[in-house]
Amino acid sequence: MSNIISTFSYYYNLAFIYYFIHKYLFEISFLEGESMFPTFDKKKLTIAFIDKFSPIWFSPKINRIVILKIPFLGIKNELCKRIKKIKTENNEKLIWIEGDNKKNSLDSRNFGWIKKDFIIGNVVFEIYPKFRFLNNQIKI
């Protein structure tokens, strides 16, 4: 019986650690579509490293590429966009986001300013199809 409890405890702790890392620290994300072309290749699936920790502690920065979840759009997918403008209104930070491909992007030009709180994470580097750091991140 103690062996079963020990095994259950091990997997429970492992699941908790995975959940914590995925929810608050980082994740690997698959980006597809044309809205961020030419930054990301529209014909190939892009795999990127997403930092979820810094949006909690740091203010958004212009030109940073971010992953967002915008509930009022009624779409289940997250969006990958670039922050173009930032303003504060009624003590709340608002951001203006746009895709790099202006001809084919659902962004603030369609729905206006959005809350900073919709940011899930910052795209730190591309893993595939080519490994490269993106130069839009926090300088430490």
**What's the pLDDT tens digit per position in 98-121?**
999 999 999 999 999 999 999 999
Rounded Cα distance between 35 and 78, Å, is 13
Give the domain extent around 62: 27-133
What confidence score (pLDDT) does residue 140 get?
37
Number of domains in the chain: 1
49 belongs to a structural domain: yes
What confidence score (pLDDT) does residue 95 get?
96
12 belongs to a structural domain: no
124 phi/psi in degrees, rounded to 5: -90, -50
What confidence score (pLDDT) does residue 36 get?
92
Ranges assigned E (strand) in the chain:
26-31, 46-51, 65-68, 79-89, 92-98, 114-115, 119-128, 132-133
Residue ranges for the chain with pLDDT beneath 50: 137-140
Q: Taking a C-beta distance cutoff of 8 angstroms, is the pair 24, 52 a contact? A: yes
What confidence score (pLDDT) does residue 12 get?
87
107 belongs to a structural domain: yes
62 belongs to a structural domain: yes
21 belongs to a structural domain: no
| Both tokens assigned to 69 | 């979840």
